[in-house]
């Protein structure tokens, strides 16, 4: 049951991140393969980074399901956006991108930390790996698209990934089962990110006081 | 015999990708170490990415031959371009870069998939790893040189890597020997890329229909 | 004793690289989490790259000490720079960044090569891994901050990392103990980089002679 839940969550996270990659490809006017590539790199980027840092073969070597999901999301977005009259105007791609990204962030903050625990990492390391897993897909998407990775400057983003990952890890260290720790971490991470989007929250940026 | 062929092909692929790195270094007016570094990163980047994703030590840890090839190509290009009067004008560096890159793409699309099969990857994973191996060297070269990785926007590029890798993988799955599958994959990948260069082929870019 | 020395050196290297990340975050006006993230990525980036290329779990999976150091350096820089009146003006952040970076470069050129030897790499590979370890933190810092990685164009930088790494590796191959080879490599790498900063040394950039 628990493993099943985690796998479904991971698929959803991969799919929504892939969607954000495809939406950036649309903004950049890429061709169908650009859509598939950017969707795939964004969808599997965070989890691949996590596995590589853990010294493991990445999760899609043995089971290509996630690769197929990503490519399908990319191609579908290209076809739907090109063929379906008015679709791209109707869905407001910028809003869709923000919310899909927030959903993926909430999921990967948890699954990233979870896999780190699985491989015996220290809880602090688990929090950092969860934060990286949730952030890295979006960073590599922006770098490949030739944009400054906004993740580092904008309203609360990495902070939300960190909160989700830390909430999950604290629950695990306290001995709570994954069926409680997982949703708690997701709600914390996605919730903070959602509030940041809705209310335009941000942390105070750095300004040197030289007076 | 077969292993031998694969090793020679890999060396050629590494050398021609290293040459493209050195040519970008020339365009950017770098110093000799910049030439060597960009040549090395471009030459071994794709294969290193492949090995890292497979959870293996990269191929040049145990045997530094490819490192020496890359550094030599970088230094040689710097010296030849600086000292040999008229050489850089004669060879038309932009054309040389395009064709060397195409050659490397055709080779790595095959050797990337081949190594994935060797480590027991699923055929779909093998196609994706071959595509990544063939594309990643050029992507990291462009990012390090501070350029938008054109691989994502230009005429058919990733598509050619994909076709080469897929052709090779289909041949392998069909039980054909590497001595047939390898050349078939190379011809498919390099051929499509060559046509794209010569005829300026591209896939239709995305344009949302909002009417 | 020897291991102890290496560990302390690694901590110092991580901390000074983390400081350069925090200083770039200050220049970019990031928020506290941006400081912590950029400090962490810069501090552990080079060593993580080294471990990944060696096919090992990265060094901070089992022991999160370096993560804590990096995050603390990032947050401290944010708080000190914001609260302590005149601090950022007094320390001249650009100079501090250059010299902290030089110190980290000298240390990681040695520890990168040392770990490569530890895992049985060829001496040439050890030199390359040391050079990469010393350079990569700064490269990823600049890419994440949306700047062209100046490492490739500026006055002697990669060359200094290479000299430090090569000096150390030659000493090791000659059978000298780490207590000699380590300081020798550090002095060579840091010394050349210091001279490059003080005297604005550079290697001749590429200019094609077409006449």
Sorting pLDDT into bands at 50, 70 and 90, what band is A7?
Answer: confident
Contacts of A153 in chain C (CB under 8 A): 28-31, 34
Contacts of B208 in chain A (CB under 8 A): 26, 81-82, 87-89
Question: Has residue C152 been placed in a domain?
Answer: yes
Question: Has residue B112 been placed in a domain?
Answer: yes
User: Going residue by residue through chain C (211 aa), what tens digit of pLDDT does each one get?
Assistant: 445 677 788 889 999 999 999 998 888 888 888 889 889 999 999 999 999 999 899 999 888 999 999 999 999 999 988 776 566 666 677 788 889 999 999 999 999 999 999 988 899 999 999 998 998 888 888 877 777 666 665 667 888 999 999 999 999 999 999 999 999 999 999 999 999 888 877 777 777 655 4
Looking at residue C211, its pLDDT comes to: 42
Asked if A204 and C32 come within 8 Å (Cβ–Cβ), the reply is yes
Residues of B with CB under 8 A from a CB of C: 25-26, 28-35, 37-38, 40, 48, 51-52, 55-58, 60-64, 67-68, 78, 81-89, 143-146
Number of domains in chain A: 1
Contacts of C54 in chain B (CB under 8 A): 57-58, 61
Tens-place pLDDT, residues B185-198: 999 999 999 998 88
Q: Which domain holds residue A57?
A: 2-199
Question: Has residue C211 been placed in a domain?
Answer: no
Question: Has residue A118 been placed in a domain?
Answer: yes
pTM: 0.86
Of the candidates A37, A57, A88, the beta carbon closest to that of B54 is on A57
User: What is the per-residue burial (b if ≥16 Cβ within 10 Å, else e) of B110-141?
Assistant: bbbbbbbbebebbbbbbbbbbbbbbbbbbbbb
Question: Has residue A208 been placed in a domain?
Answer: no
Question: Has residue C132 been placed in a domain?
Answer: yes
Question: Has residue C205 been placed in a domain?
Answer: no
CA distance, residue B201 to nearest chain C CA (Å): 31
**% residues pLDDT > 90 (chain A):** 52
Q: How many CB atoms lie within 10 A of CB C200?
A: 10
CA B168 – CA B108 distance, rounded (Å):
11
DSSP state for residue A139 in the 8-state scheme:
H
Question: Has residue B107 been placed in a domain?
Answer: yes
Nearest residue of chain B to residue C139 (CA atoms): B144
DSSP C18-85: HHHHHHHHHHTT--HHHHHHHHHHHHHHHHHHHHHHTTS--TTTT-THHHHHHHHHHHHHHHHHHHST
Q: Are B122 and A64 in contact (CB under 8 A)?
A: yes
Q: What are phi and psi of A7, to 5 degrees?
A: -70, -40
Looking at residue B211, its pLDDT comes to: 43
Asked if C153 and B88 come within 8 Å (Cβ–Cβ), the reply is no
Q: Residue B16 above 50 pLDDT?
A: yes
Contacts of B202 in chain A (CB under 8 A): 31
CA C138 – CA A22 distance, rounded (Å):
30
């Amino acid at each position: 049951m628990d493993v099943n839940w985690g796998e479904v969550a991971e698929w959803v996270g991969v799919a929504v991140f892939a969607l954000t990659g495809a939406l950036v490809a649309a903004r950049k006017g890429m061709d169908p393969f650009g859509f598939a590539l950017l969707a795939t790199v964004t969808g599997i980027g965070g989890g691949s980074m996590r596995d590589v840092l853990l010294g493991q073969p990445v999760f899609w070597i043995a089971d290509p399901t996630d690769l197929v999901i990503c490519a399908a999301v990319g191609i579908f977005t290209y076809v739907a956006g090109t063929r379906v009259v008015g679709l791209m105007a109707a869905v407001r791609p910028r809003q869709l991108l923000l919310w899909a990204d927030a959903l993926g962030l909430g999921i990967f903050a948890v699954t990233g930390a979870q896999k780190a625990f699985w491989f015996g990492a220290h809880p602090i390391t688990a929090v950092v790996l969860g934060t990286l897993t949730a952030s890295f897909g979006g960073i590599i998407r922006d770098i490949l698209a030739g944009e400054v990775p906004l993740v580092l400057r904008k309203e609360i983003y990495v902070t939300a990934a960190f909160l989700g990952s830390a909430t999950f890890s604290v629950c695990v260290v306290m001995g709570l089962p994954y069926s409680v720790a997982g949703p708690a971490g997701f709600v914390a991470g996605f919730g903070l990110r959602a509030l940041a989007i809705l209310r335009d929250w941000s942390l105070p940026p750095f300004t040197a006081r030289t007076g």
